[in-house]
Copies of this chain bind each other. A is one copy, B any other.
């Protein structure tokens, strides 16, 4: 094999290995049943002060009805103002901060939110479709929690689409996905109809593949 062929061969081998590694990150095959949370790779998905690991996920671990996330917010950082039509429970492991919830999903915009202090060893859940965000308002310590969320992305939830009729998203076969999608608001008085759809969620982007039409 000449020098040129060797380079091409090595490049193809490297490409194959990279593709194989990428595929294994998005496959449930070979994932151990018991996993050390400390060893799960965290990522910030381009958001400074944020860290996310999927403890049990639809795409990574084959979950169909619930997902569990482990997230950390550095002092001053926060989630966007957002809503979703699935249930969400938080268990605060460390730090403190403020939860903002606008329970006005019947209005045309979220409106002025209520404020709640959250703290280590506290729990709270966010009512379905209530706009909310969580803010690490403690300047001295990280805010760390587990997030439990229902309806992983591949699940068909057509019956809930009616709740999201004010969204700007189109119709058709893809409507089912909106049940687990994020709708992000610039502020509390942004109309629901102008909120930005985020689907798939940041940490599912790498592995998400649109299901075949006959699975819809």
Contacts and interface: CB of A to CB of B under 8 A. Distances in A.
Interface stretch (A10-18, A43-51, A64-72): A64-72
A99 B33 CA distance: 10
A36 B65 CA distance: 26
A36 B121 contact: yes
Q: Return the 8 tightest CB-CB contacts between A and B, nearest first.
A: A65-B150, A34-B124, A65-B87, A56-B89, A34-B116, A66-B150, A55-B123, A37-B121
A87 B170 CA distance: 32
A184 interface: no
A143 interface: no
A125 B62 CA distance: 10
Given A34-B124, A63-B87, A68-B148, 10 more contacts: A33-B101, A35-B122, A36-B122, A55-B89, A56-B123, A56-B148, A63-B125, A65-B66, A66-B66, A66-B150
A129 to B, nearest CB: 13
A117 interface: yes
A114 to B, nearest CB: 8
Q: Which of A36, A37, A68, A149 has its CB near the most chain B CB atoms (within 10 A)?
A: A68
Contacts of A101: 33
Nearest to A68: B89
The CB with the most chain B CB atoms within 10 A, among A35, A87, A123, is that of A123
Nearest to A36: B122
Interface of A: 33-38, 55-56, 61, 63-66, 68, 86-87, 89, 91, 99, 101, 116-119, 121-125, 146, 148-151
Given A146-B91, A150-B150, A124 B35 contact: yes
7 contacts: A33-B99, A34-B123, A64-B87, A65-B86, A65-B87, A66-B66, A68-B148
Nearest to A117: B34
Contacts of A91: 37, 55, 68, 146
B151 A56 contact: no
B65 A123 contact: no
A150 B63 CA distance: 11
